[in-house]
């Protein structure tokens, strides 16, 4: 099954073609603090519960959401630097425009 980027408004899918175009895909960190930073940066709301979205085990973000300085290069391969947090989110403008404002994390996240 093809995975899609979890960022709101991003339609990038993890395919051979997207990888050939130089995109990379990154799973949410397992480290609790770093994972919380990513969740806050993604700023996504669960449509059913209306609470902050918690990524599942297969959730990914594409490289479009990271600064070039967030990567280390090893020849042809690129890897996210330790501590990198996604910071580039281009919302699709619908009727009211982009409302990408930081969400307050809930206590159940342990933050």
Each residue's pLDDT expressed in tens, for the chain with a length of 111 residues: 789 999 999 999 999 999 999 999 999 999 999 999 999 999 999 889 999 999 999 999 999 999 999 999 888 788 999 999 999 986 543 334 444 444 444 433 443
CA distance 78 to 93: 31
pLDDT value at position 2? 82
Identify the pLDDT of residue 76. 77
- Please tell me the pTM assigned to this model: 0.77
Residues 40-60: b if buried by 16+ CB within 10 A, e if exposed: bbbbbeeeeeeebbebeeebb
Q: What span, in angstroms and rounded, lies between the C-alpha atoms of 75 and 64?
A: 20
């Amino acid at each position: 099954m093809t995975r899609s980027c979890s960022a709101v408004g991003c339609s990038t899918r993890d395919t051979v073609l997207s990888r050939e175009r130089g995109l990379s895909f990154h799973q949410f960190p397992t480290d609790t603090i770093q994972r919380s930073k990513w969740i806050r940066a993604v700023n996504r709301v669960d449509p059913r519960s209306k609470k902050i979205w918690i990524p599942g085990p297969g959730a990914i973000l594409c490289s479009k959401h990271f600064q070039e300085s967030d990567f280390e290069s090893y020849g042809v391969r690129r890897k996210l630097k330790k501590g990198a947090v996604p910071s580039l989110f281009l919302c699709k403008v619908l009727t009211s425009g982009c409302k990408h404002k930081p969400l307050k994390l809930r206590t159940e996240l342990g933050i």
